[in-house]
């Protein structure tokens, strides 16, 4: 079974991660492992190389993994892996079409759909003016990031 170790600087929520090859290893599993979050035990491998790796691919499982933790016991090096669902299933994800619908709940502030055209109407009010009663006005202070809604 082939284990490919990589270094990546991309975040967990990125598809098409940039991977830099660290090392390829032929491994043999001696017992059943959880293919979603396996623990791989390596013997007598270079610690310096393994320490810098943070990502893996197991060819037989056809899955990409985050290396979530590492430990050493005697001459055994333990890699604790977790499936990267986005990278493992990226072709299915990128070739699919979906529309996300969610019921609006208290505290929600925006409903998004690819079929919605969002337009803003901007009015600038100088100070000491009476605001119109016929529409909702949102105030934003430049630089402060504070917003107020006046109804």
Chain-centroid distance of CA 73 in Å reads 31
Tell me the mean pLDDT per 10 residues along the chain, length 151: 94 92 89 88 81 93 95 89 94 79 62 55 66 66 49 45
In this prediction, residue 59 carries a pLDDT of: 93
Domain contains 148: no
Q: Is residue 145 part of a domain?
A: no
- Residue 149 falls inside a structural domain: no
What DSSP string describes the chain? Answer: -EEEEEE--S-TT-SS---EEEEEEE---SS---SSS-EEEEES--HHHHHH--EEEETTTTEEEEEEEEEEETTEEEEEEEE-HHHHTHHHHHT----------TT------TT-----------SS-PPPSSS-EEEE-TTT--EEEE-
In a domain, 99, yes or no: no
Calpha distance 28→40 (Å, rounded): 10
Question: How many structural domains does the chain have?
Answer: 1
Q: Does a structural domain hold residue 20?
A: yes
Asked, for residue 52, whether it belongs to a domain, the answer is: yes
Is 136 a member of any domain? no
Domain that holds residue 39: 2-93
Structure-token pair, residue 32: 């059943």
59 falls within a domain: yes
What single string gives the DSSP state of each residue in 107-127?
T------TT-----------S
Token look-up 């919605």 returns 116
Distance CA 70, CA 142 (A): 47
């Amino acid at each position: 079974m082939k284990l490919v170790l990589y270094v990546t600087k991309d975040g967990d929520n990125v598809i098409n991660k940039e991977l830099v090859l660290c090392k390829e290893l032929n491994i043999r599993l001696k017992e059943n492992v959880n293919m979603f979050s396996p623990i791989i035990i390596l013997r007598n491998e270079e610690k310096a190389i393994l320490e810098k790796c943070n990502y893996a691919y197991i060819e037989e499982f056809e899955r990409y993994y985050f290396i979530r933790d590492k430990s050493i016991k005697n001459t055994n090096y333990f890699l604790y892996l977790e499936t990267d669902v986005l990278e493992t299933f990226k072709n299915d994800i990128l070739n699919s079409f979906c529309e996300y619908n969610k019921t609006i709940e208290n505290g929600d502030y925006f409903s998004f759909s690819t079929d919605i055209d969002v337009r803003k109407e901007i009015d600038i009010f100088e100070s000491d003016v009476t605001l119109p009663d016929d529409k909702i006005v949102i105030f934003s202070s430049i630089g402060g990031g504070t917003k107020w809604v006046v109804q």
